[in-house]
Structure 1
Amino acid sequence: MGPVLMVAVAIVFEVVATLALRASHGFTRLGPSAVVVVGYLAAFWLLAQALKSLDVGPVYAVWSGIGTVGAFIGGVLLFGEQVRVTTVIGAALIVIGVIVMNAGGGLQH
């Protein structure tokens, strides 16, 4: 698996783990709690492997930015969280920030 694909899969694991964190109800539900632990371990392991050949700044911007937007969308779809104009603007600003940060280049070292 290439490093860019590892980052993409790490993002998926991170978003799933974050949504499971909400579903765990403070780690009082075993199934979602197990998904949290496995998901975050997998996400960080994949991210660490990708960072062997990718620069940390742009990769972390993509991982955290897309993860944040993914958790926002997942919260809306799975938990009925409210969508407000300010949250949509914030999500758009995150995406714009990730694009601007990656426009500087330097993805691989």
Structure 2
Amino acid sequence: MSGAVFLTISIIFEAFGTTMMKLSHGFTVLGPSLGVALGFLVSFTSLSFALKTIPLSIAYATWSGVGTALSVAIGVLAFNESLNLFKIIAIVLIIVGITIMNRAKNDHQASSSLVEANRI
């Protein structure tokens, strides 16, 4: 499996674990409490596999940023949390930041390849 697939699994299970944390009511409800443990176990395991092929800075920024945006969406849709202009702007900025970081990684790889080619 590719690093991107592991990262996607990690993000989904992080959001699942966070949602279960809300439903556990401070770990007083057994089912959701077990869901927290399962969600974060799968999330961190998948993240560690993703780190075999994705740089730490990119993987962690993507994991935390997309996980945050997904948690906001779940909060709004499942728990009727408010969504205002500032939250929307914040989510857009997170996504733009992740996009820029991924773009910078690709530009760095391209320039590294050019430097390697010039050495030969």
Q: TM-score when scaled to structure 1? A: 0.94
- Structure 1 residue runs of 4 or more that deviate by more than 6 Å after TM superposition: none
Query: CA shift at 1:61, angstroms?
Result: 1.0
List per-residue Cα deviations over 1:9-34 (Å, max 9, x = no partner): 11000001111111111011111111
Cα root mean square deviation, aligned: 1.5
Give % identity.
38
Query: CA shift at 1:53, angstroms?
Result: 1.9
CA distance in 2, matches of 1:3, 1:19: 24
Uncovered stretches (5+) of structure 2, i.e. residues with no partner: 110-120
Determine whether 1:44 maps to 2:44. yes
Q: How does 1:8-47 map to 2 (within 5 A)?
A: 8-47=8-47
| Residue equivalent to 1:4 | 4
| Partner amino acid, structure 2, of 1:27 | F
CA distance in 2, matches of 1:92, 1:19: 21
Point out the structure with the larger helix share.
2
Question: What SS does structure 1 have at the residue aligned with 2:105?
Answer: coil
Larger Rg: 2
| Residue equivalent to 1:58 | 58
Instruction: Say how many residue pairs are matched.
Output: 108
CA distance in 1, matches of 2:92, 2:50: 26
Q: TM-score when scaled to structure 2? A: 0.85
| Residue equivalent to 1:67 | 67
Uncovered stretches (5+) of structure 1, i.e. residues with no partner: none
Determine whether 1:92 maps to 2:95. no
